[in-house]
Structure 1
Amino acid sequence: MLGEHVLFLDGEALVIDKPAGLAVDPPRAGGISLENHLASLTFGFRRWPVAVHRLDRDTSGCLLLSRNPKAHARFQQAFERGEVSKRYVAILDGVPEGGSGTIDLPLGKVSTAEAGWRMTRDPRGKAARTDWRVLATHDGRALVEFRPATGRTHQIRVHALEGLGAPVTGDPVYGAKHDGGMMLHAIALSLPRAGKADIAAEAPWPARFAALGFAAG
């Protein structure tokens, strides 16, 4: 049940702290996804909430859901216009040079029969930009804050590897698996609304980050 994971709730919006390992969309191979929990997130409404955006299965943190179709359309438009502020934290297998900056690296999808599909640098791909800064270092790893200006598939994961030269710790596609899982967390999300208070949520610090020596700053 995800009722205890609610970070924000009002008549048109719901933000939950999505656990790592929970897929937003039903997996093709079957298994549990967010859909299996929606009935427990109605909070008095008959209508089930609907996810407005996506987080990768192994990414935890702030996920926005709409509680009615009109709100859903407005929220999607806000994402398309770049009005939604998202902040992520990640642990990287390595320490990027420079301490902070902006990664401007267009992305496209590649696919092989052996390895399946993945995203990579592609000059003809979709524009993707991410601001980043190192928050801390420990045992050859870096805790990095990412603020994506665009919302491409696997954007932060590919920008970490190909833009900074250090994959997200535990990334099963772009790095190496880790017993603690993938160290990527959507820690904050905010969305302005005309005539109403902003939707604003911040997720708790993940225990798996603390286990690698990175406590909340």
Structure 2
Amino acid sequence: MTDSIQTKVRFTTVSADEAGQRLDNYLLARLKGVPKSMIYRIVRKGEVRVNKGRIKPDYKLKENDQVRIPPVRVSKEDALPNPKLDQIAMLESVILYEDDILMVINKPSGLAVHGGSGLKFGLIEGLRSLRPQQKFLELVHRLDRDTSGVILVAKKRSALRSLHEQLRMKSMDKRYVALVAGKWPANKKKVNAPLQKNTLQSGERMVRVDPNGKESLTRFEVIERFENATLVEAEPVTGRTHQIRVHAQYAGHAIACDDKYGEAAFDHYAQSLGLSRLFLHARSLAFIHPREESTLRIEAPLDKNLEQVLARFRSQS
């Protein structure tokens, strides 16, 4: 990635779709590669102006506001991946639903939701390459790289705001399926344990149950039992990082092939039956469509590997 210097002052007009956005987020989207600290510095020094006046970073922009953006050093964005790449072309086949304000994807396991940390591109960069004419495409929520299943993408800022509000109010219904070690007790319907994020010296992010962590609740329901494993449905009421994975481990029933929180003996057994990935899949998502105001429920089928592994667990039982 190379740097370039934007030598001229820019003036932009806030559109109806951008209204309601914080000034700092608006600038971050336009000054790709500029650190947040610099964004706050140019706002604090009065180099950024809204309607010719000094303004705070948390100011919520209004339609037709005039924003002055000063010259800054900006990192040139890496070119979007070629839409003909196999991985990108494949995304077309995993779109479960699409209209003019949102799309729903059945994300494959192993695909990060966005690029970074040595990855040239992720799901969102791939979709932007696939839809170059689409001016706005943003993730509504995230899935871990190794988790597959339903993920929601907004094509309008107004849709993003509506869907984020549903997440905040916990009115969006998300259901996952997971294969866990051992016999999950029928009467264990929920795990309510606070979670704390920690970053190790290696930079790896780990999460653990900690009384000083954030309140976290996951509901669990048994779907199917096997000889030494259980297929469960998990409903995360809160949306913490690695929540289902850590809550399953905390309950004594780690998810199959979880490289962070797994159980080695069980993982080895699952791998002997052909499992080649984390057995956690976002199976369904239900939400109020921002425009239609009716409930939209989308389901994502399990991939071939997970289906084959379940068949082998059944035959072993």
Bigger Cα displacement from structure 2, 33-42 vs 129-138: 33-42
Alignment correspondent of 2:206:
118
- Answering whether residue 132 of structure 2 is matched by residue 49 of structure 1, we say no
Distance 2:282 2:113 in 1: 14
Contact 1:99 1:134 in 2 (8 A): no
Distance 1:195 1:28 in 2: 36
Alignment correspondent of 2:295:
198
Residue identity matched to 1:165: G
Cα pair distance change 1:112/1:19, threshold 3 Å: same
Q: CA deviation at 1:40?
A: 5.1
Alignment correspondent of 1:17:
106
SS of 2:310 mapped into structure 1: coil
Cα pair distance change 1:68/1:195, threshold 3 Å: closer
1:77-96 maps to which residues of 2 (within 5 A)? 77-96=165-184
Contact 2:163 2:290 in 1 (8 A): no
- What does the per-residue CA deviation read over 1:141-192, in whole Å, with 9 as the maximum and x for residues that have no partner? 1100001111100000001000x20111011100146551000000000111
Alignment correspondent of 1:174:
261
Q: Which runs of 5+ in 2 are unaligned?
A: 1-88, 313-317
Q: CA deviation at 1:113?
A: 2.3
Alignment correspondent of 2:281:
185
Distance 1:83 1:45 in 2: 32
Distance 2:176 2:201 in 1: 32
Instruction: From 30, 48, 68, give the equivalent of 2:119.
Output: 30
The size of the alignment, in residue pairs, is: 213
Q: Which runs of 5+ in 1 are unaligned?
A: none
Contact 2:134 2:155 in 1 (8 A): no
Residue identity matched to 1:19: P
| Higher helix content, 1 or 2 | 2
| Higher strand content, 1 or 2 | 1
- What does the per-residue CA deviation read over 1:34-72, in whole Å, with 9 as the maximum and x for residues that have no partner? 133113553x95324211100000000000000111111
Alignment correspondent of 1:165:
252
Distance 2:202 2:311 in 1: 36
Cα pair distance change 1:26/1:75, threshold 3 Å: same
Residue identity matched to 1:8: Y
- Answering whether residue 194 of structure 2 is matched by residue 106 of structure 1, we say yes
Alignment correspondent of 1:141:
229
Residue identity matched to 1:166: H
Contact 1:13 1:199 in 2 (8 A): no
Identity across aligned pairs (percent)? 32
Larger radius of gyration: 2
Contact 2:150 2:300 in 1 (8 A): yes
> Following TM superposition, where does structure 1 have runs of at least 4 consecutive aligned residues deviating by more than 6 angstroms?
none
Q: CA deviation at 1:12?
A: 1.1
Distance 1:200 1:128 in 2: 24
Residue identity matched to 2:255: V
Distance 1:90 1:214 in 2: 15
SS of 1:213 mapped into structure 2: helix
Cα pair distance change 1:193/1:39, threshold 3 Å: closer
Bigger Cα displacement from structure 2, 50-59 vs 111-120: 111-120
Distance 2:114 2:291 in 1: 32
State the superposition RMSD in angstroms.
2.1
Bigger Cα displacement from structure 2, 25-34 vs 70-79: 25-34
Distance 1:148 1:209 in 2: 21
Alignment correspondent of 2:156:
68
Residue identity matched to 1:22: L
